[in-house]
Amino acid sequence: MGFFDFFTSEIAIDLGTANTLIICNDKIVVEEPSIVALDRTNGKVLAVGKKAMQMHEKTHPNIKTVRPLKDGVIADFTVAEHMIREMIKMIHPGRRFFTPSLRMVICIPSGITEVEKRAVKDSAEHAGAKEVYMIHEPMAAAIGIGIDVEEPNGNMIVDIGGGTTEIAVIALAGIVCNESIRTAGDHLNNDVLDYMRRQHNLLIGERSAEKIKIEVGSSLSELENPPEDIEIMGRDLMTGIPKVVSVGYSEIAQAIDKTISKIEDAVLKALELTPPELSGDILKNGIHLTGGGALLRGLDKRISAKAKVKVYVADDPLRAVVRGTGIVLKNIETFRGILMT
């Protein structure tokens, strides 16, 4: 690292509803939950990321935990700014004597409004960025999984995050048609919460719901190699006493069925909007699944059966978007056409 590199830092950020990832010097240096713990009395930031997540739903009246992003966009401006600033500090811990001039590439949902775009830009600038570029998530995901987006060849990306599902058909370095729905991982967690309350009279927290989704979540009620049932602890709604319930994957498949159907419908809608020549390309190239939601068991098979197109789950789908954002950051001149400033 040269002397002048100290003064200009370049970072790529995948600012997600559930997790925020940051790339600096081609390495993922920050991978933390998008959550902040604040002191209610003076508004001071007590913890960010994993530390704040450990406090989530376990706080006393003086501490509150806030998730500044909702449905893929900034819901709490001030907290988002604090979060971005603290996460940037995590890149170079201990370096406090000056702020280098930062160049940032941030990815945003494709269905974002101008006002929401402005909020992202302002938050980044207040957190110390001198230059801010933005890129749409499905475009970043396509670049991240190694698709040559500049070719006259159609590719469909389905990026299922925490707050939004982004579906886009990409050709000639642009998004030809897209469908962005605010139904994704968080909604699956809520489905699990509701199901446990209705079916088992068990009150569980967000973190337990997330755990169930990851460990036994499935979009099909029959799997070839099913996961083991898991035991989950919560509060009995009838007696108010803590109790343990065993949960299996087919129950969860039933619980999240409605939300998965919404995602399927959005995929079909995007296919309907696709120009006929590109439809042929998609039939040949298949649909690519990225984002945390791509890890849900059986989802590729289910979408494939519905859309009659092959569906591929990207390698390491959780980091596809940030990897693409990192590639764009390194070759800003090449990709200038797809960036928004």
Question: How do the pLDDT tens digits run along the chain, 341 residues long?
Answer: 444 455 558 899 999 999 999 999 889 999 999 999 999 999 999 999 999 999 999 999 999 999 999 988 889 989 999 999 899 888 877 665 445 678 899 999 888 889 989 988 998 898 888 999 999 999 999 999 999 999 999 999 999 999 999 999 999 999 999 999 999 999 999 999 999 999 999 999 999 999 999 999 999 999 999 999 999 999 999 999 999 999 999 999 999 999 999 999 999 999 999 999 999 999 999 999 999 999 999 999 999 999 999 999 999 999 999 999 999 999 999 999 889 87
Report the C-alpha gap between 204 and 253 in whole angstroms.
18
For position 8, what pLDDT does the model report? 59
Task: List the Cα angle 56/20/326 in 5-degree steps.
Answer: 170
Say what the alpha-carbon torsion angle 194, 180, 28, 53 is, to the nearest 10 degrees. Answer: -20
CA 121 to CA 113: how far, in whole Å? 13
Going by the DSSP 8-state scheme, the letter that residue 337 receives in this structure is G
pTM here is 0.91
Residue closest to 165 by CA, chosen among 111, 206, 128: 111
pLDDT for residue 99: 57
Closest CA to 121 of 92, 80, 153, 159: 80
Q: What is the pLDDT of residue 100?
A: 62
pLDDT at 9 (0 to 100): 81
According to the model, what pLDDT value does residue 72 have?
A: 85
Contacting residues for 314 by C-beta, under 8 A, at least 6 apart: 141, 144, 145, 288, 289, 290, 294, 320
pLDDT at residue number 314 = 95
| pLDDT at residue 29 in the model | 92
The single-letter DSSP state of residue 184 is S
pLDDT, residue 4, reads 43
What lies within 8 Å, CB to CB, of 130 at 6+ separation is 101, 102, 103
Per the CB < 8 A criterion, the answer to whether 251 and 199 are in contact is yes
Q: What is the pLDDT of residue 1?
A: 45
Q: By C-alpha distance, which of 39, 45, 133 is closest to 84?
A: 45
Could you tell me if 142 and 154 are in contact, meaning their C-beta atoms sit under 8 angstroms apart? no
Residue in 88, 116, 94 with CA at minimum distance from that of residue 20:
88
Tracing tokens 């940030």 back to the chain, one arrives at 322
Structural domains for the chain: 4-140+321-338 (3.30.420.40), 150-183+258-318 (3.30.420.40), 185-257 (3.90.640.10)
What pLDDT sits at residue 92? 76
